[in-house]
Amino acid sequence: MSTHFIGNRRVAGSSGETIPVLDPSDGQVFAHIARGNSEDIRRAVAAARAAADGGTWGRLAPVERGRLLRKLSDALLAHHDELAHLEMRDCGKPVKQAIADATAVARYFEFYAGACDKLHGETIPYTPGYAVMSFYEPHGVTGHIIPWNYPMQIFGRSVGGALAAGNACVVKPAEDACLSLLRIAELAVECGFPDGALNIVTGYGHEAGQALADAAGIDHISFTGSARVGTLIAQSAARRHVPVTLELGGKSPQIVFADANLDDALPVIVNAIVQNAGQTCSAGSRLLVEASAYERVLEAVGARIATLKVGPAVLDFDVGPLIRASQLQRVEGFLADAKASAMRSIAQGSIAPESPATGFYARPTLIADVPMEAPLACDEVFGPVLAAMPFRDEADAIRLANGTEYGLVAGVWTENGGRGLRMARAIRSGQVFINNYGAGGGVELPFGGVKSSGYGREKGFEALYGFSVMKTVVIRHG
Sequence-ordered strand ranges (E) for 210-356? 220-224, 244-247, 252-256, 284-290, 309-310, 344-348, 350-351
Quote the radius of gyration of the chain (alpha carbons, Å): 23
Residue 188 near residue 215 (C-beta atoms within 8 A): no
The question of whether 281 is a catalytic residue gets the answer yes
Least spacing, CB of residue 304 vs ligand NAD, in Å: 24
Least spacing, CB of residue 250 vs ligand NAD, in Å: 6
Residue 331 near residue 376 (C-beta atoms within 8 A): no
CA 81 vs CA 101, 149, 170, 183: distances in Å: 11, 18, 26, 12
41 scored as a contact of ligand NAD (CB under 6 A): no
Separation of alpha carbons 120 and 137, rounded Å: 9
Residue 402 near residue 453 (C-beta atoms within 8 A): no
175 scored as a contact of ligand NAD (CB under 6 A): yes
148 scored as a contact of ligand NAD (CB under 6 A): yes
Q: With CA atoms as reference, report the closest residue to 107 among 77, 81, 65.
A: 77
Its sign, for the CA torsion 108, 384, 405, 226, is negative
Binding residues among 283-342 for ligand NAD as defined by CB under 6 A: none
138 scored as a contact of ligand NAD (CB under 6 A): no
Binding residues among 350-389 for ligand NAD as defined by CB under 6 A: 380, 382
Separation of alpha carbons 57 and 121, rounded Å: 21
Separation of alpha carbons 8 and 90, rounded Å: 23
Stretch that binds ligand NAD, among 14-22, 27-35, 205-213, 364-372 (CB under 6 A): 205-213
Least spacing, CB of residue 157 vs ligand NAD, in Å: 8
**To 5 degrees, how large is the angle CA 423–CA 428–CA 432?**
55
Q: Which one of 116, 281, 290, 458 is the catalytic residue?
A: 281
Least spacing, CB of residue 374 vs ligand NAD, in Å: 19
Q: Pick the binder of ligand NAD from 281, 319, 338, 343 (CB under 6 A).
A: 281
Helix, strand counts (H, E) of the chain: 16, 22
Least spacing, CB of residue 187 vs ligand NAD, in Å: 21
Separation of alpha carbons 116 and 111, rounded Å: 9
- Strand 244-247, strand 454-455: pairing: antiparallel
Separation of alpha carbons 204 and 172, rounded Å: 9
Least spacing, CB of residue 173 vs ligand NAD, in Å: 6
Least spacing, CB of residue 430 vs ligand NAD, in Å: 8
Residues 215-254, one symbol each (x = binds ligand NAD by CB under 6 A, - = not), give ---------xxx--x--xx-------------xxxx----
Least spacing, CB of residue 307 vs ligand NAD, in Å: 27
Stretch that binds ligand NAD, among 28-36, 129-137, 182-190, 203-211 (CB under 6 A): 203-211
Q: Pick the binder of ligand NAD from 98, 213, 389, 423 (CB under 6 A).
A: 213
Question: Which is closer to ligand NAD, CB of 229 or CB of 338?
Answer: 229
Separation of alpha carbons 248 and 455, rounded Å: 8
Residue 115 near residue 464 (C-beta atoms within 8 A): yes
Max Cα-Cα span within the chain: 82
Question: Which is closer to ligand NAD, CB of 25 or CB of 252?
Answer: 252
151 scored as a contact of ligand NAD (CB under 6 A): no
Q: Pick the binder of ligand NAD from 206, 339, 344, 471 (CB under 6 A).
A: 206
Residue facing ligand NAD at closest CB distance? 205
Residue 209 near residue 217 (C-beta atoms within 8 A): no
Binding residues among 49-108 for ligand NAD as defined by CB under 6 A: none
The question of whether 175 is a catalytic residue gets the answer no
149 scored as a contact of ligand NAD (CB under 6 A): yes
- Report phi then psi at 286, rounded to 5: -120, 135
182 scored as a contact of ligand NAD (CB under 6 A): no
Question: Which residues participate in catalysis according to the annotation?
Answer: 247, 281
Binding site for ligand NAD (CB under 6 A): 145-150, 154, 172, 174-175, 205-206, 209-210, 213, 224-226, 229, 232-233, 247-250, 281, 380, 382, 408, 449, 454
